[in-house]
Amino acid sequence: MSSTPLVAPSRSAPPRPKSGVPGRIGAGGFVALAAAIGILIVFSTDQIVPPTSAHQADLRLWLAARATGFMALFLLTAQVVFGLVLSHPTNKTTWRLSKLLFPWHENAWVFILAFLGAHVVATVADGYAKVSLLGAFIPGLSEYRTPAIAIGTLSFYALMVTGLTARYTRLLPKGLWLKLHRFGLVVLGLAWAHGLLAGTDSVALAAAYGGSFLMVVAASAYRYWVVRSVRTTFSTSLPQEDA
């Protein structure tokens, strides 16, 4: 009786990694994003649907500025919340959750910049606001609510610092990008202050600002809870894959 030698089953070679950084938006995504923002700007003015009155025409750019500003604030809130969840100390043992959240956390920065660009364009184009291009980018030069606009400008620059240093970590000393990245909470705080002080409808939209604040508080509480307690979290309770 001949014996058949036991041969270990061969495993297929792992797929070669794709070029570029996984999860990052490519050129096609940027084109689609630019097209979407362009359509939003055109629709917000009187290029598609003409206004029915002079008052409605005056409100078009103001509404566009507020809408794009609030969208940027919402995305910034989501980015900070995802960052807080991703930074919990059990992250190394919950990599599958991180793989799901990290692309959203990273790519939100691109969409925030896109909506901020539309926000600045609409604000500068709005004659009532009296915010010039220099006033939008140099703190203290805006005629309209100078401190509030200055806070918004500082928030934009702080966002650029945290975003760019996170994207180009190899160009910085080890660990520096993370220290700068933690200023994301400062960016969000400045954005809250800018929206509340610059908007004439802040009281009516208090629930939106409050909801954004509560989301960040909840994420911060969750991270603190994980740090102080050795217990199963919603991410560590995920089923493990077979080896």
Q: What is the CATH number of the domain that holds 177?
A: 1.20.120
Mean pLDDT along residues 206-223: 88
Name the residue range of residue 202's domain: 27-228
CA distances, 30 to each of 109, 111, 144, 158 (Å):
12, 9, 32, 22
Which pLDDT does position 137 carry in this prediction?
93
Of the listed ranges 39-43, 109-113, 162-166, 196-200, the one predicted with least confidence: 39-43
Q: What is the pLDDT of residues 87-115, one digit of tens each?
A: 765 555 555 666 777 777 777 888 888 88
Give the Cα-Cα-Cα angle 26, 29, 35 (nearest 5 degrees): 145
Domain count for the chain: 1
Residue 242 placed within a domain = no
Residue 64 class from Cβ within 10 Å (0-12 exposed, 13-18 middle, 19+ buried)? buried
Q: Chain-wide mean pLDDT for the chain?
A: 75
Residue at 11 is within a domain? no
Q: Name which of 102-106, 121-125, 195-199 the model is least confident about.
A: 102-106
In a domain? residue 80: yes
Residue 161 domain-assigned (yes or no): yes
Residue 22: inside a domain, yes or no?
A: no
Q: Which of 33-42, 149-158, 167-176 has the highest mean pLDDT?
A: 149-158
Tens digits of per-residue pLDDT, 25-62? 555 565 566 656 666 665 555 555 566 666 666 777 88
pTM assigned to the model:
0.70
Q: How confident is the model at residue 235 (pLDDT cuts 50, 70, 90)?
A: very low
Q: Taking Cα atoms as reference points, which of 132, 118, 102 lies closest to residue 70?
A: 118
> 193 lies in a domain?
yes
